[in-house]
Amino acid sequence: MIERSPFFDFVSYAAMVIGLVLVLIPFWVVIVAGSQSLQEVARVPFSMLPSNHLMENIQAAWARADLGPKLINSFIVAAGVTIGKITLAAFSAFAIVFFNFRARMICFWAIFITLMLPLEVRIVPTYSIAANALLPFQVLLDALGITWLVQSVSGVQIALNWNLLNSYTGLILPLIATATGTFLYRQFFMTIPDELVEASKMDGSGPMGFFWDVLIPLSRTNMLALATIMFVSSWNQYLWPLLVTTDRANFGTVVMQLKALIPAQNGTPDWNVTMAGALIIMLPPLLVVAFMQRWFVRGLISRDK
Amino acid sequence: MTAITLKGVKKRYNKSLVVHGVDVEIEAGEFIVILGPSGCGKSTLLRMIAGLEEITDGEILIGDRVVNQLEPRERGCAMVFQNYALYPHMTVGKNIGYSLKVARVPKPERDARVMAVAKAVGLEALLDRRPGELSGGQRQRVAMARAMVREPKVFLFDEPFSNLDAKLRVAMRSEVRKLHRQLGVTSVFVTHDQTEAMTLADRLIIMNAGRVEQVGRPIEVYNNPSSRFVADFIGSPAMNLLEGEFDADGLFVHGTGGRIRVESLNGQRVPGRKIVLGVRPEAVRRSDANTAGAIPAVVDYVEELGASRLIHADANGSRLIALDTDTAEIASGTPVHLSLGQEALHVFSAEDGRRINPHA
């Protein structure tokens, strides 16, 4: 429906401007506070104009929260999760859309159901798996009596253990499984005409050939859109890294370090340093979105023509 | 030598049988056109030969090898699809060369072969374009070049011209014919367009409702349709078909009382036997009342074609179309007499539609 009336034009522009201002105000506050000195930031009322202490504040925040190594950690985790999610999503959607196997619908619904079980809901079992990734196999062996059998025959007790706590694997792996990505890929793969699949069969290409030579190049924009969402969301992860890393010094991520930047209860209320730190921490996802937004929108709304 | 042999080939989707046992032998180098209305199973049959559909029952041989269990790539067929099915992200050159790349043909040889087929279909200037930048006719050529580059044993065409405009279709038709003459590769072409079928085919396979109605050279099929379906389907305007029965005198009675002598059915003109009498419009002539066997009719309307005209007439309640080449014009509403050429009468059974009188 296309409305052409000056009144509605005005209303819709007004709504968009209000929305934009609402989104931008917090950013502005962060930038302003991050550029002020301790005296300026403590002044009441708070001045909404930036000052010239940004660089000192950034240096202070960088040192206080040990942001250098933590940024590297965050990059490793965010990149690992993004790449892992895209790979897994592409392969699982490929299997669900192009292969006709008996358990196809079961697999599809199993993936679908995980949409309703976000990490926060299943955090305890996920943690216990991360503490010992081989636990399910151990339970299976115990239940089947194989542990008992082996122990009574050879005297060796089977105790499988693979600890993922305090490791990049532990930070990345549990975040990789995602239904969102599988769905995005599935929607795209379903728009690929059957004739294209058949043409590649006639050209002698097998399923993996079709996947690499046709599907992957065609889904480039989708992949970039998915990468954008996934990078931002895994960068912003707070709860999971907090749980799985006890060794904060080596495996902490920047988002966890935000806590270290907040002034202590009875310490100096240097919110200017906190805000400068927040600015550094939110910069990478912001840049990713800014660079990718063209692909992002295209990948979400339609396929590349 | 036979290139393709179909033995009792059947296709079943869930419970419904869509191809009811087809037996055909296709000679090497032949251009075969499978013709039939939509939903008759012709595309399914082609796709079974290609290996894109499983064969429910029967056998398909390419050369002397049973291919039922072979993957499409092992069958040596190349296919041109209805919607071209070009890879949208590859250039024309890469589209054509993709099968060679998959087969690990070295790059210099691949480029040379792509260039050679591109020249053959007049695409050499467009090799770096994407399919999206090409016109329908050019995309069609890319699809053909892609099929040709593999030097297959068999070409399969699945209604390749149905997305082209009428003029381009005629041009592509003669081009396909020319390419077939040059390459001499066995070709199977599926279409629902009878003009396309008649002009392209060495032999036609006419299908209806999953069964083969007739196999033969286009002119044979036209002159001697073996069933009422074929008679009705082939030829434009369609054959006149009159339903009726023989009276006590052995004359064919139709509608409200027209009587026609059918000579070719000697000894079988049993009174009361129901038949369908077919006659092509060009065998229906204007005559005068004194001509033996002339049918009185009233002109309903006339289509002027320039060199000839089609007279749509009402003869005792049955519709008769005559292709008239007489110089004298005729107006609607005029009473006329129409006579049917005896040698051009086709008699079909009223029950199963099979031809009764011997082939002329």
Q: How does pLDDT run across B201-215, given as a tens digit for each residue? A: 999 999 998 899 999
Q: Does residue B265 lie in a domain region?
A: yes
Amino acid letter at B291? T
Identify which of B88, B106, B86 has the alpha carbon closest to the alpha carbon of residue B96.
B86
Contact B154, B186 (CB under 8 A): yes
Place of tokens 């099915």: B85
Q: DSSP 3-state assignment of B310?
A: strand
* Region for residue B212 given its phi and psi (left: phi exceeds 0; alpha: psi -120 to 50; beta: otherwise): beta
What is the spatial distance between Cα A172 and Cα A132, in angstroms, rounded to a whole number?
15
Contact A196 B85 (CB under 8 A): yes
CB contact under 8 A, B83 and A203: no
Element (H, E) at B246: strand B240-246
Cβ-in-10-Å burial (0-12, 13-18, 19+) of B351 comes to exposed
DSSP reduced 3-state for B138? helix
Give A2's pLDDT tier (boundaries 50, 70, 90): low
**CB-based contact B146 A218, cutoff 8 Å:** no
Query: Does A230 share its domain with A278?
Result: no
Report the mean per-residue pLDDT for chain B. Answer: 88
Lowest mean pLDDT among A24-33, A96-105, A153-162, B123-132: A153-162
Q: How many domains does chain A have?
A: 2
Q: Do A154 and A250 belong to one domain?
A: yes
Residue B265's domain comprises: 239-349
Give the number of other CB atoms < 10 A from CB of residue A121. Answer: 10
Which one-letter amino acid corresponds to residue B78?
Answer: A
Give residues with Cβ within 8 angstroms of A240, minimum separation 6. Answer: A119, A123, A171, A174, A175
Give dist(CA B329, CA B326) in Å, integer. 8
Whether residue A96 sits in one domain with residue A178: yes
Whether residues B50 and B195 share a domain: the answer is: yes
Partner-chain contact B89 A193, CB within 8 Å: no
| B46 and B185 co-located in one domain | yes
Nearest CA to A31 among A213, A245, A279?
A: A279
Quote the pLDDT of residue A300: 64
Structural domain ending residue among the three candidates B196, B216, B232 = B232
User: What token pair was written down for A161?
Assistant: 């253990």
Beta bridge partners of B337: B287, B296
B82/A217 touch (CB, cutoff 8 Å), yes or no: no
On whether both B67 and B6 belong to a single domain, the answer is yes
Q: Which residue of A has its CA nearest to B74?
A: A204
Per cent of chain A over pLDDT 70 is 97
User: Is residue A229 located within the same domain as residue A178?
Assistant: yes
Q: Which of residues 207-236 of A touch B (CB under 8 A)?
A: 209, 213-214, 217-218
For residue B169, the surrounding DSSP H or E stretch is helix B166-183
Q: Do B91 and B213 fall within a single domain?
A: yes
* Final residue in a domain of this structure, among B232, B256, B279: B232
Answer yes or no: is pLDDT of A35 > 90.
no
- Choose the final residue of a domain: A255, A276, A294: A255
Same-domain check for residues A152 and A274: no
Q: How far is A193 from chain B (nearest CA, A)?
A: 8
Both A161 and A244 in one domain: the answer is yes
The arithmetic mean of pLDDT across residues A92-117, rounded, is 87
H or E segment to which residue B45 belongs: helix B42-50
How many C-beta atoms surround the C-beta of residue A154 within 10 A?
9
A214 CB neighbours in chain B (<8 A) are 87, 89
Classify the C-alpha dihedral B224-B228-B229-B234 as positive or negative: positive
Residues B121 and B195 in one domain: yes
> Lowest-confidence range among A137-141, A246-250, B9-13?
A246-250
With beta carbons less than 8 A apart as the criterion, state whether A36 and A49 touch: no
Q: Of B263 and B161, which is predicted with more confidence?
A: B161
Per CB-CB distance under 8 Å, the chain A contacts of B87 are 196, 199-200, 213-214
Say yes or no: B196 and B304 in one domain: no
Phi, psi of A109 (to 5 degrees): -70, -35
Identify whether residues B186 and B271 lie together within a single domain. no
Tell me whether residue B360 is in a domain. Answer: no
Q: Answer yes or no: do A238 and A112 share one domain.
A: yes
A194: domain CATH number is 1.10.3720.10
Residue showing tokens 């050939």: A209
Q: Which residues contact A301 (CB under 8 A, 6 or more apart)?
A: none
Most confident of A71-80, A160-169, A171-180, B337-346: A71-80
Chain B residues touching residue A212 (CB < 8 angstroms):
none
Eight-state DSSP code of residue B115: H
CA distance A77 to B138: 49
φ, ψ dihedrals at B33, nearest 5°: -115, 125
Contact criterion met (CB below 8 Å) for A168 and A76: yes
Residue of chain A nearest B89, judged by CA positions: A218
Q: How far apart are alpha carbons A299 and B110 in whole angstroms?
A: 34
User: At residue B30, what are phi and psi to the nearest 5 degrees?
Assistant: -75, 150
B214: CATH: 3.40.50.300
Confidence of residue A1 (pLDDT cuts 50, 70, 90): low
Provide the residue count of chain B. Answer: 360
Long-range contacts of A46-55 (CB under 8 A, 24+ apart): A53/A272, A54/A276
Helix intervals (H) in chain A: 6-34, 38-42, 54-64, 67-98, 104-114, 123-131, 135-144, 146-154, 168-176, 179-190, 194-202, 207-210, 216-218, 220-235, 239-244, 248-251, 254-261, 271-301
Give me the amino acid identity at A183: F
Contact B102 A204 (CB under 8 A): yes
| Interface size between A and B, measured as CB pairs under 8 A | 63
- Same domain for A97 and A215? yes
pLDDT of residue B326: 81
Q: What's the pLDDT tens digit per position in B28-75?
A: 999 999 999 988 889 999 999 999 999 999 999 998 889 999 888 888
As a 3-state breakdown, chain B gives helix, strand, coil percent values, each rounded to 5, of 30, 35, 35
How far off is chain A from B79, nearest CA to CA, in Å? 7
Residues B263 and B129 in one domain: no
Contact criterion met (CB < 8 Å) for B72 and A195: no
**Across the interface, do A199 and B52 touch by the CB < 8 Å criterion?**
no
B226 lies in the same domain as B250? no
The residue of B71, B75, B80, B102 whose CB has the most chain A CBs within 10 angstroms, and thus the best one to mutate to test that interface, is: B102
Residues B159 and B214 in one domain: yes
Report how far residue B42's alpha carbon sits from residue B35's, in angstroms, rounded to the nearest whole number.
Answer: 7
Residue B195 shares a structural domain with residue B322:
no
Of chain B, the end-to-end C-alpha distance in Å amounts to 29
In sequence order, the 6+-apart residues with CB closer than 8 A to the CB of B119 are: none
- Decide which of B232, B265, B289 is a domain's last residue: B232
Query: Measured between beta carbons, which residues in chain A are less than 8 angstroms from residue B85?
Result: 193, 195-196, 198-199
List of residues 6+ apart from A56 with CB closer than 8 A: none
> Beta-carbon neighbour count of residue B199 at 10 Å?
15
Specify whether A28 is located in the same domain as A3.
yes
Is A305 in Cβ contact with B89 (below 8 Å)? no
The whole domain housing A275 covers: 1-64+262-305
Residue A288: closest CA among A82, A48, A62, A102 = A82
pLDDT of residue B197: 92
For B249, the token pair is: 């005198």
Total-model pTM: 0.78
- Mean pLDDT score, B316-343: 85
- What is the number of domains present in chain B? 2
Q: Which of A193, A198, A203 sits opposite B99 (nearest CB)?
A: A203
- B/e letters for A220-242, b = 16+ CB within 10 Å, e = fewer, are ebbbbbbbbbbbbbbbebeebbe
> What's the mean pLDDT in A115-137?
83
User: Out of B72, B84, B103, whose CB is closest to A202?
Assistant: B72
How confident is the model at residue A305, as a pLDDT? 42
pLDDT range class, residue B219, cuts 50, 70, 90: very high
Supply the CATH number for residue B323's domain.
2.40.50.140
Q: Which of A195, A209, A218 sits opposite B89 (nearest CB)?
A: A218
Residue A295 and residue A229 in one domain: no
Nearest CA in chain A to B79: A202
Q: Is A24 exposed, middle or buried (0-12, 13-18, 19+ CB in 10 A)?
A: exposed
User: In this structure, are A128 and A245 located in the same domain?
Assistant: yes
Instruction: Clarify whether residues B202 and B85 are in a common domain.
Output: yes
Read off the pLDDT of residues A226-265 as tens digits, 9 standing for 90 and up: 888 889 988 888 888 888 888 877 888 888 888 888 887 7
- What are the distances in angstroms from CA A28 to CA A77, B274, B298? 28, 93, 91
pLDDT range class, residue A101, cuts 50, 70, 90:
confident
Q: Stretch A259-285: mean pLDDT, rounded?
A: 83
Percentage, residues of chain A above pLDDT 90: 15
Is the four-CA dihedral B328, B332, B337, B340 of positive or negative sign? positive
Q: Which of A255, A274, A295 is the last residue of a domain?
A: A255
Q: Residue B217 and residue B204: Cα distance in Å, rounded?
A: 6
